[in-house]
């Protein structure tokens, strides 16, 4: 049984990646999860400098989901390389570094620095965080901005470049196309949906930032639809995510067109979810006689339903 | 020791009032490792709604007749979807319970006295702490405030440990009427007069305004003070950065630390309260 998947020049041993922003810098989980057993670990978004992020409350639970407005608190790229990367390397994690900038130059500088670091497998460009005012999302919400930041980073690194797209646009697939044209090796989607929750007793927003990003099972069908649409629009691999909570959800994303998947909110609920997901994928492959997990990608059958399968 | 996740059987659900209950959970591994002030992450139901686990202080460590740890209890107050389910939990039901997590209280030894300051559901970490202090021979007092007399719980438990009680209620139905920080301040002032230079250790847990007041009183009277912070947590493991508390950072700047890793017990004088 072959669980490996390819993302550009990178081969992942399996399609499961810990989602950025949901797994700290990976080291927090090193004693709980065998980091080497994951397809990849996407670490928390990094700027050049340290950032403190937003005040509490930063998260609030919503029906089958959660809102967050962390504000990209982070230790900055240099401290990451000095303090976190050596342990990730020692644990043999496949490290995907998520980078954020307020300017094009900051993305380029981050890409340069990380390309020289030992133990980085790929760069995920965060152009989609809904929770900071400047940078990031301003690139991700403009087709030209997306094209420019991807091509600028492309020029300075040999690492696979994977822009992470926002769902908070009218047509995600046009952004996927812009990323492909600019030389991206893959795209990842979706980041969280901009959302809001209000305490009706106090009439105050439940988050200090007023608005935040919605994740969890509540968003999964929308994310699946967006992966499906992007699969029609581009030829580079897609890393799909949004509310995956079990192996069936992960397989759904792959059938919709994702070559690999990221899991975030569900690992908050169950930090030991990873081997369960892998077992579930293996047993699905056995049951459906699938030898290579990559053979599932984009196999959704949208033709007329066969009479015996119509489910009536 | 890394935390463990157990499908803990609910061995009893004791209602204390229309809003409060104590759940006992069979979880020997967690009970054996837990120190007073640490917490567990409990999933209240199956399925996706409610989705996240909720943090609870380890209320009591339960033991069998020979003293071997068998489980823990949690003090629950109905305030949302998860706590509603936990209020109605049935004996025999299993709950996913991850722990022990976080930093425990820093203990003291005689002759230092310990003053615990609890507001409402903030009683949660003090049954285990009271037991531990009593075991160390530390003279302890519990300053405990609630809305009304019927919401002051486990008083006999603390009396049996030899913990002195100072009670307040908002409606005056038990103890002094008003806030618990009023008798706390009086006691600190009188202690400073009678035995200057021998302040008690103060441990506080409750509404943030109460903890802020307790921490500031402690600073004024030069008493060490640890508080148990309550924040909405996504994971309890440092993964989400959702549960931060603002503390004094390097160069006097505010710095956000994750209360699941740096806390929930933190030094009161390090927190930026306003």
The pLDDT profile of chain A, 312 residues, written as one tens digit per residue, is: 999 999 999 999 999 999 999 999 999 999 999 999 999 999 999 999 999 999 999 999 999 999 999 999 999 999 999 999 999 999 999 999 999 999 999 999 999 999 999 999 999 999 987 666 566 676 788 999 999 999 999 999 999 999 999 999 999 999 999 999 999 999 999 999 999 999 999 999 999 999 999 999 999 999 999 999 999 999 999 999 999 999 999 999 999 999 999 999 999 999 999 999 999 999 999 999 999 999 999 999 999 877 665 554
Q: Give the model confidence (pLDDT) of A228-281 as tens digits.
A: 999 999 999 999 999 999 999 999 999 999 999 999 999 999 999 999 999 999
Which of B23, B26, B24, B29 is closest to B9 using CA atoms?
B26
Contact check, Cβ <8 Å, A217/B3: no
Are A8 and A237 a contacting pair, CB within 8 Å?
yes
A250 touches chain B (CB under 8 A): no
- Tell whether the model's pLDDT for residue B208 goes beyond 90: yes
Cα B84 from Cα B74, distance rounded (Å): 14
Structure tokens, B93: 């039901």
Q: What is the pLDDT of residue B195?
A: 86
Contact check, Cβ <8 Å, A269/B51: yes
Contact check, Cβ <8 Å, A56/B51: no
Known active-site residue A129: yes
- Structural domains for chain A: 5-55+72-194+217-309 (3.20.20.70)
**Nearest C-alpha of chain B: how many angstroms from A245?**
9
Of B3, B233, B238, which is closest to A24 when you measure between CB atoms?
A: B238
Residue at token pair 């822009």: A163
Q: Considering chain B, what percentage of its residues have pLDDT values greater than 70?
A: 100
DSSP A265-281: HHHHH-TTHHHHHHHHH
pLDDT, mean of residues B218-229: 97
Q: What is the pLDDT of residue A241?
A: 98
- pLDDT band of B70, cuts 50, 70, 90: very high
**Nearest C-alpha of chain B: how many angstroms from A186?**
25
Phi, psi (5° rounding) for residue A180? -65, -45
- Structural domains for chain B: 4-101 (2.40.30.10), 114-228 (3.40.50.80)
**Nearest C-alpha of chain A: how many angstroms from B133?**
31
Contact check, Cβ <8 Å, A217/B238: no
Rg, C-alpha atoms of chain A: 19
B255 touches chain A (CB under 8 A): yes
Q: Give the model confidence (pLDDT) of A268-311 as tens digits.
A: 999 999 999 999 999 999 999 999 999 999 999 999 877 665 55
Cα B214 from Cα B204, distance rounded (Å): 7
pLDDT, mean of residues B121-137: 97
Write the burial class of residue B49 (CB in 10 Å: 0-12 exposed, 13-18 middle, 19+ buried): middle
Q: What is the pLDDT of residue A312?
A: 46
For the question of whether the overall pTM of this predicted structure is more than 0.90, the answer is yes
Structure tokens, A209: 């930032």
A131 touches chain B (CB under 8 A): no
Write the burial class of residue B39 (CB in 10 Å: 0-12 exposed, 13-18 middle, 19+ buried): buried
- pLDDT band of B80, cuts 50, 70, 90: very high
Of B3, B80, B256, which is closest to A73 when you measure between CB atoms?
A: B256
Strand partners, B15: B21
Structure tokens, B189: 């002032």
SS3 breakdown of chain B: % helix, strand, coil, rounded to 5?
A: 25, 35, 40
10 Å Cβ neighbour count for B170? 14
DSSP B94-154: EEEEEEEESB-PPP--TTS-EEEEEEGGGGTTHHHHHHHHHHTT--EEEEEEESSGGG---
Task: Calculate the average pLDDT of chain B.
Answer: 96
């Amino acid at each position: 049984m072959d669980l490996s998947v390819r993302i550009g020049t990178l081969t992942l041993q399996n399609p499961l990646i810990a989602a950025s922003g949901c797994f700290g810098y990976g080291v927090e989980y090193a004693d709980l999860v065998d980091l080497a057993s994951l397809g990849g670990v996407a670490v928390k978004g990094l700027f050049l400098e340290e950032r403190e992020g937003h005040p509490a409350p930063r998260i609030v639970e919503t029906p089958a989901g959660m809102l967050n407005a962390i504000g990209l608190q982070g230790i900055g790229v240099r401290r990451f390389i000095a303090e976190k990367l050596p342990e990730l390397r020692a644990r043999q994690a496949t490290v995907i570094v998520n980078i954020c900038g307020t300017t094009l130059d900051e993305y380029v500088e981050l890409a340069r620095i990380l390309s020289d670091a030992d133990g980085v497998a790929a760069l995920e460009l965060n152009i989609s965080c809904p929770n900071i005012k400047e940078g990031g999302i301003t690139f991700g919400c403009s087709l030209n901005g997306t094209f420019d930041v991807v091509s600028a980073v492309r020029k300075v690194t040999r690492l696979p470049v994977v822009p992470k797209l926002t769902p908070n646009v009218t047509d995600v697939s046009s952004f996927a196309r812009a990323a492909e044209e600019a030389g991206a090796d893959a795209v990842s989607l979706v980041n969280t949906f901009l959302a809001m929750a209000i305490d009706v007793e106090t009439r105050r927003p439940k988050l200090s930032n007023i608005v935040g990003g919605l994740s969890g099972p509540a968003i999964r069908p929308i994310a699946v639809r967006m992966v499906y649409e992007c699969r029609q629009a581009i030829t580079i691999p897609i890393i799909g995510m949004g509310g995956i909570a079990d192996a069936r959800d992960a397989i759904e994303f792959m059938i919709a067109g994702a070559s690999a998947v990221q899991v975030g909110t569900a690992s908050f609920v169950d930090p030991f979810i990873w081997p369960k997901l892998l077992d579930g994928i293996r047993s699905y492959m056995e049951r459906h006689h699938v030898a290579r997990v990559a053979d599932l990608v984009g196999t959704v059958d949208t033709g007329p339903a066969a009479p015996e399968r119509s489910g009536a | 020791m890394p935390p463990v996740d157990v499908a803990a059987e609910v061995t009893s659900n004791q209602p204390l009032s229309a809003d409060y209950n104590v759940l006992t959970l069979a979880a020997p591994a967690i009970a054996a490792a837990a120190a007073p002030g640490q917490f567990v992450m409990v999933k209240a139901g199956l399925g996706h709604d409610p989705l996240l686990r909720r943090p609870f202080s380890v209320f009591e460590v339960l033991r069998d007749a020979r003293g071997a740890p068998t489980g823990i209890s949690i003090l629950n107050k109905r305030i949302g979807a998860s706590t509603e389910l936990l209020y109605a939990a049935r004996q025999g039901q299993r709950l996913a319970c991850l722990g022990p997590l976080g930093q425990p209280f820093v203990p003291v030894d005689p002759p230092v006295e310990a003053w615990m300051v609890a507001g409402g559901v903030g009683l949660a970490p003090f049954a285990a702490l009271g037991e531990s202090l009593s075991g160390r021979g530390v003279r302890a007092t519990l300053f405990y405030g609630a809305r009304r007399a019927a919401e002051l719980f486990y008083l006999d438990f603390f009396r049996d440990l030899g913990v002195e009680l100072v009670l307040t209620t908002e409606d005056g139905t038990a103890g002094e009427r008003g806030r618990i920080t009023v008798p706390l301040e009086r006691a600190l002032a009188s202690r400073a007069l009678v035995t200057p230079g021998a302040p008690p250790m103060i441990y506080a847990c409750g509404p943030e305004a109460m903890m802020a007041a307790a921490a500031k009183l402690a600073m004024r009277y030069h008493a060490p003070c640890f508080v148990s912070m309550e924040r909405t947590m996504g994971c309890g493991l440092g993964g989400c950065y959702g549960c931060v508390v603002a503390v004094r950072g390097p160069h006097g700047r505010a710095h956000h630390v994750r209360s699941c890793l740096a806390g929930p017990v933190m030094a009161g004088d390090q927190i930026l309260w306003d």
